[in-house]
Amino acid sequence: MDHTKKIIRQVKSSQLYGALIYIDLNGFKRINDSLGHHVGDELLIAVSKRLQSAMRKTDTISRIGGDEFVVLIENLQPSAHAIEEDANRVACRILKDLEHHFELSGGMYRIGASIGIAIIDQYDTDPVEVLKFADAAMYTAKKHHQKNICFHNIEIQKILDTRLAIENEINHALKNMAFHAFYQPQVDLNGKLIAAEALIRWQHPDKGLIYPNDFISVAENMGVINQMQETMLIEICQTLKLMEKNKSLHKNFRISINISPSQLKHNSLPKILMKTLNTFALSPEYFMLEITEEMLIQEIDKTVCILNELRRLGFKISIDDFGTGYSSLAYLNTLPVNEIKIDKSFMTTLTKEPSSHGIIDSVISLSKHFNFDVIAEGIEDVKQFDVIKQKEVKGLQGYLFAKPMNQIEFIDWVNAA
C-alpha cells in the first residue's frame, strides 16, 4: 500500500499512468482442502517464486491474503493506452507461467488464475480504492470463464455498487416480508376465468413497486431465490384459501408459478413445494409450474426426472415464452408437459408481420400433436384478440383482459367476474 501511495503521487505530479494487477488463483481451494494446508502452503510458495521470476525489477509483488496476489507496475507510461498494453503483457506472462504443472508432495497439479487490472491515473487518490477497482475487475474475469483478464472501468464499478446495494435491500426486504404475489388472470375465448399467473413484485418503501427483471438475477446469485419463492407460495396458498372460502375456487382453476433455474436443479424442489401445500391442505392440482425453454436443455435427464416427480404429485407443467428458446422435438417428446405459452413478442407483431402468424400456427400445430394446451400471453388490444381468437388456443392473458393485481384486487375481480 505504501508503494501504491508513492505511485499515485508520481502519477499526479508527472501526469503519467500506472497499473495494479490483482491475481486470484483458480483451483487453490480444491488442492488446499483435499490435500491439506501444508500442500496449500507449498503451492503458494511455488506460485510466489514463479511470479518473482516473471516480474521486472521495477514491479512490486505482494501476497495480500489467502490465494490472492497483487502486482504493482511502477514503470509508468505516458498514456492510458500504453499502460493498458504493458499491464496486459504482464498479466498474459503471469497466466502463461501459472499454466505449467506444479509438483507438490510428489504429485503434479495444475491451476489457473483470474486477473483484474486497474489503471492508476491522476484522478486516483486512495490506494484502497485502486485495490478495490482491481479486485472488482478480477471478479468480473472470474465470472466470465472464457476471459481470464479483465480491466476495471467506472461502468463496471457502478454495476457492482448497484448490485451490492440491491443485495442489502433484498435481505432487508425478505426480513420485512416486502415481496408479494400479483395475479394476472387467464381467460378462455369467452372471457371466463380459467387460471392466473402469480408474478412476484417487490413493494419498496421508497421506490414503490419493483418488477422482477430488476432483482431476480441478483437474488439467484445471492442464493435467496428459494426463500423468496417460499414467501410467494405462502401468499398464493392464502389467496387460494380465500377463494375456497368465497366458493370461487373451481376444481379446474390453476395458479401458475414461475420456477427459477436454480430451483429446478435441486432434487428437493418437490419436497419443498409439498411442505407448504400440506400446511394449507391444498392439492398440487391447483398449481401450474412454469419453466422456460432454456432451462429445459440444461441437464435434461435430471430435469425430466424432477418434472416427472412433480407431475406424479399432481402439479401441472408449462413451458413459458415458447418460441424464443431452443425448441427441440427430441426433448418435447420426452417431457411431462401440460401446457405451452406462446411468447408475448409474437403478439406484439401479430397485426403487423405476417410471419408471426406462421410461427403461432406452427406452435399450435405442434402443441396439438403432443396434446399440450396453448396459452397466448401479451394480448394488449382488440386487434390482437380478433386474430388470436380464430386460432385453437385454450387461454388468453394480457392487459386487454386484466392487469396483474395484488391479492385484494384479484379476489374482488374474481368475485365480480
- Which cell is 304 given? 425430466
Rounded to whole angstroms, the Cα distance separating 395 from 387 reads 14
Pairing mode of beta strands 149-151, 193-204: unpaired
pLDDT at residue 217, rounded to an integer: 84
pLDDT at residue 265, rounded to an integer: 78
CA distances for 222 relative to 26, 87, 213, angstroms: 21, 32, 15
Handedness of CA 391, 392, 398, 399 (dihedral sign): positive
pLDDT at residue 266, rounded to an integer: 78
| Domains in the chain: ranges and CATH | 2-152 (3.30.70.270), 176-416 (3.20.20.450)
- Which cell is 195 given? 387460471
CA end-to-end span of the chain: 69
CA distances for 204 relative to 53, 165, 172, angstroms: 54, 13, 10
Nearest to 184 by CA among 193, 175, 174: 193
pLDDT at residue 325, rounded to an integer: 57
**Contact, 129 vs 95, CB < 8 A?**
no
pTM over 0.85: no
Rounded to whole angstroms, the Cα distance separating 124 from 8 reads 7
pLDDT at residue 148, rounded to an integer: 87
Spell out the long-range contacts of 263-270 with Cβ–Cβ below 8 A and sequence spacing 24 or more. Answer: 263/225, 263/226, 263/229, 264/291, 264/295, 264/303, 264/306, 265/299, 265/302, 267/306, 269/306, 269/310, 270/306, 270/309, 270/310, 270/313
Mean pLDDT per 10-residue section of the chain, whose length is 417 residues? 92 92 92 88 94 86 94 91 90 90 88 93 86 92 78 73 85 95 96 96 95 90 88 96 94 93 84 95 96 75 89 94 63 83 83 76 88 93 90 94 96 92
pLDDT at residue 33, rounded to an integer: 85
pLDDT at residue 344, rounded to an integer: 84
Compute the half-sphere exposure of residue 50: CA atoms within 13 Å on the CB side of its CA.
21
